[in-house]
Chains A and B, each alone.
Chain A
Amino acid sequence: MKSLYNAARTGFTEIWAHKTRSVLSFLAIAAGSLVFIDAFSAIFATYERIEKQKEVSGMARMKISQNYSQTFSSPDEYVPPPVISYDDVLSLRREMPGLYMVSPEARDWRNVLQYGERRMTTSLMGVTPEWAKRDFVYKLRGRFLDWHDVENKLRVCVLVKKAAPPPGNSFSKSMLKKYNFTGGFDMLVAHNDMLGETVKIDGFTFTVIGVLEELPYSKRPGTITGYSQDYKVLAPVTTLTHYNFINSYQSLDLSIDTGNEQNYDESLRKINNFLKIRFGDGDFFIVENQLEVIRERIAASMKSALVTISLGMLAFLAGGIGIMNVTLATVFARTREIGVRRAIGASRRDIMLQFIVEAVMLGLIGGILGSALGYLWGVPIKVILGMGGSPIKVWMPFISVLIAAFTAFAFAIYPAWVAAGLKPADALRAE
């Protein structure tokens, strides 16, 4: 303990006596520390996002849609394929009450929405209350569709209000302005409180019972399933069928969450069975296993996270080599001093300790500096540059400083060993 204290004192004197050299070497380590913190927080951001996405989207998802690519050997063989109707959905629900979500979805495009004198194109999606169970990344004002609306085919609707593009993303901003991608509908919802208003969609009067406000980018976890959310108006699926927005040839898509990953395969088998019994043999529907897709996406994210962390490690390696270089230079510059110390009784261990402690101190200072820079870079600077702040956890700088110190330690061992191995008489003769 005493020799450690003495080594630290000597180390401090040496670091102070060679300011330029010391600053350069702890800058090298600081760079490593900075990159590491940035990498770590990026990984953490990805991880957090995935966790949130898992929560929002669920893992055990599947999607059933009509198979448009069935092949027929001749036109005579063609029979209109079966469609999934709302009755089929209810039947599936009755047979498999354990499923967490069975959400039928029907889309209609190029609808004309009229509000007062203003007319604009929009797109409709017919859903049930189950839709809100997953991928619900909105703040709801008013209320969402309920079963009463669905059962009574009420002409009520919920409008989606788009969030502003990510801050500082000047490209997307200018694009939005130039081509008016936001369109009339988005402008209407953005600038008018539509809650409780009545609108006409393709001539039918609907009451706006709710507005779904998209959360700003930084707070929006996104959906793991990755489906584009281009719908603008949500209405009961039964209403849309009843008023012929959706004709009887159009099949409903089903978005299903089995509830948990363990019963996924079992549920998948049962659902396939249900479809076969109800519609007969034939590739009428595509059952998309989203569990696999989600797992692949997570694996891909983690892989890119590993790449990032290895970059951080490389930066530390560079810093470590810098420290090794400086320590070796120090050893050669102080060979005579090593001889003097050996002559007056320092053991090899004392000499090794001295150089290692000195390097570790450089590493510590560098690590602290780098962590501070990493924090500055991760929080205020990135925000100013419009890259969105990184989530830096309290423990990250500690880990980073520890790794910096450890790197310095590891890379100082060789030079310290060289120093300790010098023969006292030879070292004393050095210039």
Chain B
Amino acid sequence: MTISCSELTKVYEGGKAGWPALRGVSFDIKAGEFVAVTGPSGCGKSTLLNIIGLLDEPTGGKYALNGRDVFTLSDLERSDARRDEIGFVFQSFHLLNRLSSLENVCLPLMYAGADSAETRERAGSLLRKVGLHGKEKKIPLELSGGERQRVAIARALANSPKLILADEPTGNLDSAASKEIMGMLTRLNEEGITIIMVTHDRELAARAGSNMRMRDGRIEQ
């Protein structure tokens, strides 16, 4: 999974000129890299991650995901790419609270059209992989923060993505849980998955393969 961006801009609507979140960002990420994106609040880290993850569209510039120009993708192709090639891990987990952890992990498989026995088996094995064996039937509210984030990681892995985007994955966790989650991401990177992680935590950033510092919508190098 390679990511190649040049002169990416993003202007949010509002006010006369709008509010520029990205003011020309260029970088390349090679397959298998572990990149930490750091920077102060409001510097455009999350915006960048949303654009990389096809959740948002840039206002200008170029973005090629695995060589494909994302501007040419239809909404359905973008949905399929999010489903099959990208896994998301969010700061506030974004699990569906009415579903059990197993069902949460099943969702991406369901949208991929897998049959239900297969789906449950795969979801079960992913939950075992993240160390949640026996907690398949618990709903998110019955789990600790660290456990919830592990469910989220299992969900991100459901369709074997090549890229994981983590937006402050440890922001809501205590240090022990943070360490665990970071370890898990490191292991996934070792398995060959490209990881881009937004974080405030310098210590965590230091454990990533490379760092990308942002300030005022630009990359400082």
Contact = CB atoms under 8 A, between A and B. Distances in A.
Interface stretch (B105-113, B168-176, B181-189): B105-113
Interface in A264-291: none
A17 B110 CA distance: 21
Interface in A390-431: 423-425, 428
Given A6-B110, A348-B76, A428 B94 contact: yes
What is the predominant secondary structure among interface residues of chain A facing chain B?
helix
Contacts of B55: 342-343, 423-425, 428
Contacts of A349: 76
Nearest to B56: A425
Interface residues of B, number: 28
Given A2-B113, A3-B113, A6-B110, A344 B155 contact: yes
Given A17-B98, A428-B55, A344 B113 contact: no
B94 A336 contact: yes
A246 B96 CA distance: 93
A17 B96 CA distance: 13
A344 B98 contact: no
Contact of A345 (B94, B98, B111): B111
Contacts of B84: 345
A14 B97 CA distance: 11
Contacts, number: 69
A187 interface: no
B191 interface: no
B150 interface: no
B142 interface: no
B39 interface: no
Interface in B74-113: 75-76, 79-80, 82-84, 88, 90, 94-96, 98-99, 107-108, 110-113
Contacts of B217: none
Contacts of B107: 341, 344
Contacts of B112: 345
A345 B75 contact: no
B49 to A, nearest CB: 10
Contacts of A343: 53, 55, 82, 88, 94
Interface residues of A, number: 24
A382 B66 CA distance: 71
Given A2-B113, A424-B56, A345 B96 contact: no
A342 B98 contact: no
Contacts of B98: 13-14, 17
Contacts of B158: 344
Interface in B107-125: 107-108, 110-113, 115
A346 interface: yes
A350 interface: yes
B50 interface: yes
A423 B79 CA distance: 11
B111 A350 contact: yes
A13 B155 CA distance: 20
Nearest to B93: A340
Tell me which of B55, B76, B80, B99 has the highest count of chain A C-beta atoms within 10 A of its own C-beta.
Answer: B55
B149 interface: no
A170 interface: no
Contact of A348 (B53, B79, B94, B115): B79
A342 B79 contact: yes
Nearest to B75: A348
Interface of B: 50, 53, 55-56, 75-76, 79-80, 82-84, 88, 90, 94-96, 98-99, 107-108, 110-113, 115, 155, 158-159
Interface of A: 2-3, 6, 13-14, 17, 336-337, 339-350, 423-425, 428
12 contacts: A3-B111, A337-B96, A344-B82, A344-B155, A345-B84, A346-B83, A347-B75, A348-B75, A348-B76, A424-B82, A428-B55, A428-B90
Given A343-B94, A425-B50, 16 more contacts: A17-B98, A337-B96, A339-B94, A340-B96, A344-B108, A345-B84, A345-B108, A345-B111, A346-B111, A347-B111, A349-B76, A350-B79, A424-B56, A424-B82, A425-B55, A428-B90
